[in-house]
Structure 1
Amino acid sequence: MQGQHCAVCSNPRRRVKTVADLFVALLRMRYVMLRYCLALAAAAFMAACEPTPMSGPVSTQPEQGQPASFSANESARSFIRVLQTVEPVAERECRVRTSQVNCDFNIVVDDRPGQPANAYQTEDKAGRPVIAFTLALIADARNEDELAFVMGHEAAHHIEGHIARQQQNAVAGAVIFAGLATLSGGDATAVESAQRLGAQVGARTYSKDFELEADALGTIITARAGYNPLRGAEFFTRIPDPGDRFLGTHPPNASRLDTVRRTAAGL
């Protein structure tokens, strides 16, 4: 299908030559190999890839006694396999649930050095949905269910229209705060500051709800692609719990796991 792409986006940041940089570079050796394996996998030459067994600077390290992440070669193979399986399902769900929305997902690898384990959804200038995985996240995944769940979750953000809704909330917050500053007699600088603050508050107002919505729809996409969303959502048990902070961007991990369980039970 048109949406099945595994591009590698390169945009290296400025490098500072320090001892710390050298140490990070050594730790990054696994990701260099993973990047190489991904390129070979995409070109169907995976047999030539031999991984270097070094751990990298990821944000969710396995705890003692828990299964380790894939090797670089296994990570590359798994990512390509999950992409080819989940993307068509996500595209189908998008077309069924939306109208006049671009459902041609472009799934890319963010290979910038030093990026933490993360995935995010955005749109390109033409409005095409883009889902990006950092090398650290791909390397840190313990099974294909986790990769599938993350991919389904990010696709769900696009299907639910969260970027547009967040922008609308930001505009509303900016207008309200600027109006209050004006009514209170603030000068142009005060009004501008209030506008910026209002935009930030507005953008975060429903961010937790958006994450839970994406978890629910991501569970459906994961299951319909043939993966286990309950197993996939186990990565919530390894990442820091954001808690229920006021204006926090993510809900507590327990709430997210509960959403996945309830959604999966209804399938």
Structure 2
Amino acid sequence: MKILSFFLILGLAFGQDDTTSKESSTKDSKPKKEEKKKTSKKNPDDIGERDVGKGVNWYSIEKEIALGKGLAQDIERSAKIVDDPVISEYVSRLGQNLVRNSDAKVPFTIKVVDSEEINAFALPGGFFFVNTGLILAADTEAEVAGVMGHEIAHIAARHGTRGATRGQIANLATIPLIFMGGWAGFGIRQAAQVMIPAGFLYFSRSFEREADMLGLQYMYKAGYDPGAFVDFFEKLQAKEKRKPGTISKIFSSHPPTDDRVTTAQSNIQSMLKERPEYVVTTSEFQDVKARLQSMHNRRKLDPQDPNRPRLRRKPGDGTTTVEDENGKKTKTDEDERPTLKRRPSDKDDK
């Protein structure tokens, strides 16, 4: 019995080992799961397959879109939106082409604001505005694409709601993502006449650097010359030299312009493979720019325009000719103020 028990135990032991071996063999024979493709923010070939907006964020995409929509409605009620179909359709089509070549995961609504300030600004959730002044200041379509690419990058990377989650922004409903450095910048504050404390309006420099990097990739993938992005910043530098202090205040929340130019040049060399040809500008861009210029000129000449330049005559400018009894002609000022003469005093009589 003892021997039988021994063999039974031994058999069970071997049986367990055999089962374990079979299970192990079965596991080994199962096909391995495909490893998830690694993507990089620095590789433009991975655009569309990566999540550049990942990070701690308490706002869902749906809530972000709702917030942006509410802000956009406020902007449209306050600012003057260009309703010229040629201009608005061109700018929207240019922007949507960049969006298709970006990491954005929300639909975009793009409109043009009638403002001479050089600016573009984007709201959370895909609501995007371009000032006419930006188009007039640009020499090429690629320069406009560079600015718009930067704004699209802010939305794709969800910088607004991520910044709010970090506690850097007190009230998301007052924060647009603006190329020129927040509401303290040029465009929308004047166009919409919205007064917001400047302390709540600045994005971190790391967000701005990321938007520069991603924006370069988006314009590159869309076929534009990424060097145009650098060209635009060099124009800003020239503006700063002509009128010191104007640009530096606007970019107080951004990396210094010199650094942005240097970094952009470095990113172009390290991330973007050189292509035999790029889109620099188009005849359509030139036509739209000429149309905008004509629109601005007509507004300045319109006598009904309350903002047109006015000449105000100073006292003494308007004169008339008066002929006395002897035929002598003299000029008198119609606007001349009355002259006060001192009455003779008693002392004068003495």
TM-score, structure 1 normalization? 0.52
1:108 aligns with 2:111: yes
Say whether 1:214 aligns with 2:218. Answer: no
Residue 230, structure 1, aligned to residue 276, structure 2: no
Matched, 1:86 2:98: yes
Q: Which has the higher helix share?
A: 1
Residue of structure 2 in register with 1:262 after alignment: 266
Matches for 1:194-209 after TM superposition, within 5 Å: 204=202, 207-209=204-206
- Residue 163 of structure 2: aligned partner: 166
- Deviation, structure 1 residue 263: 1.6
1:103 corresponds to which letter in structure 2?
V
Instruction: Give me the whole-angstrom Cα distance separating, in 2, the residues matched to 1:42 and 1:218.
Output: 22
Equivalent of residue 142 in structure 2, options 131, 142, 145: 145
Any unmatched runs of 5+ in structure 2?
Answer: 1-71, 172-196, 241-246, 273-350
Structure 1 segments unaligned to the other structure (5+ residues)? 1-6, 14-30, 44-76, 95-101, 175-198
Range with greater deviation from structure 2 (135-144 or 230-239): 230-239
Give the aligned residue type for 1:82.
L
Cα distance 1:130–1:254, how it changes in 2: closer, same or farther (>3 A)?
Answer: same
Counterpart CA distance in 2 for 1:12 and 1:172 is 23
C-alpha contact 1:106 1:130 (8 A) present in aligned 2: yes
- 1: distance between equivalents of 2:142 and 2:121? 18
Query: CA offset at residue 257 of structure 1?
Result: 1.2
Mapped partners of 1:249, 1:171: distance in 2: 12
Tell me by how many angstroms 1:150 deviates: 0.9
Q: Classify the secondary structure of the residue corresponding to 1:163.
A: helix
State how 1:244-259 maps to structure 2 within 5 Å. 248-259=252-263
Q: Is the 8 A contact 1:169 1:202 kept in 2?
A: no
Residues in 2 aligned to 1:234 and 1:258: alpha-carbon distance in whole angstroms: 12
Aligned equivalents of 2:86 and 2:199: distance in 1? 44
Structure 1 residue 147: Cα displacement = 1.1
| Counterpart-to-counterpart distance in 2, 1:211 and 1:143 | 23
Looking at structure 1, the residues matched to 169 and 93 of structure 2 have their Cα atoms a distance apart, in angstroms, of 42
Question: How far off is 1:81 after superposition?
Answer: 5.4
Instruction: Identify which of structures 1 and 2 has the higher relative contact order when contacts are C-alpha pairs closer than 8 Å and 6+ apart.
Output: 1
* Paired residue secondary structure (2:101): helix
Structure-1 separation of matches of 2:86 and 2:122: 25
Flag the 1:41–1:159 CA change in 2: closer, same or farther, 3 A: closer
CA displacement at 1:88 relative to structure 2: 1.4
Is 1:120 aligned with 2:118? no
Q: How many residues align?
A: 165
Mapped to 2, the partners of 1:172 and 1:218 lie a distance apart of 23
Map of 2:86 onto structure 1:
40
- How big is each residue's C-alpha offset from its partner over 1:100-129, in whole Å with a ceiling of 9 and x where there is no partner? xx4212221123xx4511111103xxxx31
What is the one-letter code of the residue matched to 2:266?
R
Q: Aligned partners of 2:129 and 2:140: how far apart in 1?
A: 18
